[in-house]
Amino acid sequence: MKRLLLFSAVSACFLAPLACDLEKTANQISAETVMVGTMLSTPDVPFSPEVAAGFDGGVNPDGGLYNVTIPGQTAAIVFLGTRKGENSAPQGLTGATVTLQINGTQKVPLPSDGSGSYSRTNNGDDSLEYQDGATYQFIADHQGQQYVGQVKNAPTRENIPALHPPGGIVRKQANTELSFDRADPPQDQDRTLGFVTVVPVSDNGQRGEPTYTNAPKAPLDFLKLVAVPTEWRAKRVTIPGSAFPQANQTYMVIFQAVRLGDPETDNLFIGSALLAGTADVGVVRTY
């Protein structure tokens, strides 16, 4: 564990050497407090169950196109923990006051969920809205110390043409993989991280439990991502066939383009993971 965290710190400094103030970097390498902060968004997704099932038109009894809208979600989540211990995973720190600050002005409080996690979603809350190009700061005040992580220039939605064929629905055999290529990034820029999640959807638009994701889940997984992000920056993305286990089933493929940020204060471990991103969504129907 300790070796991984040190490698994460060295990797972060190597990837952005001009940003590495030596004293600040030394403090961040030895800092015991770690933060994982994410600001992630998915859009509303309208679709016709009839069209997805292969019935042309999808007309309801009133003569209109029968559409179901799967609501999108924006969620800000912070994990604040300590990495004390030679081989232990970070332990959550409770009792912090945590805020998401947007463009240096708007502040959104993140209530505690317990065990060092703090979060808010946009369900019934208009204060939380994803903004392309925004700067997001994750700010935690705990026992007289303030810890700040930051993501600049939150990415715009990355369009994946393979998820939007003519007719709008990707049709494929169950238990077969789905692959697509990402566009090349602008010159002299790294490709954003790409997180993929596959979710089954019922005919009334209810989401089931994910059948596949390559996104990190636990805080330690996010720290590993900071250390070795290559897997999530690949041009070719392949979703295994096991993500589509049932025939005659509709699935949502959610592809999130995510920018990786940095710890700002020198009391925050340099391997902390700060991320912001938004998603393109495709609909898959199996046969």
How does residue 85 score in pLDDT terms, banded at 50, 70 and 90?
low
For residue 53, give the 3-state DSSP assignment.
coil
Q: Which residue has the higher pLDDT, 32 or 8?
A: 32
Whole domain around residue 86: which residue ranges?
Answer: 2-286
pLDDT beyond 50 at 58? no
Nearest to 286 by CA among 238, 236, 235, 252: 252
Domain count, the chain: 1
Is the model's pLDDT at 30 over the cut of 60?
A: yes
10 pLDDT above the threshold of 80: no
pLDDT of residue 168: 87
Model confidence, pTM: 0.86
What region does 27 belong to: left with phi over 0, alpha with psi -120 to 50, or beta? alpha
User: Is the separation of the CB atoms in 118 and 98 below 8 Å?
Assistant: yes
* Contact by Cβ (8 Å): 42, 256: yes
Q: How would you classify residue 258: left for phi > 0, otherwise alpha for psi between -120 and 50, otherwise beta?
A: beta
Radius of gyration, alpha carbons of the chain: 20
Tens digits of per-residue pLDDT, 141-187? Answer: 999 999 999 999 999 999 999 999 998 899 999 999 999 999 998 88
Distance CA 54, CA 287 (A): 10
Q: Which amino acid is at 172?
A: K
Q: Which two tokens stand for residue 77?
A: 């989540």
Residues near 92 by beta carbon (within 8 Å), at least 6 away in sequence: 79, 80, 81, 114, 115, 116, 117
pLDDT above 80 for 19:
no
Cα gap 170→251, rounded to integer Å: 10
Single-letter code of the amino acid located at 100: L
pLDDT of 60 strictly over 70: no
Tokens read off for 8: 């994460």
pLDDT category at 55 given cuts 50, 70, 90 is low
d(CA 280, CA 196): 10
Per-residue pLDDT band at 86 (split at 50, 70, 90): low
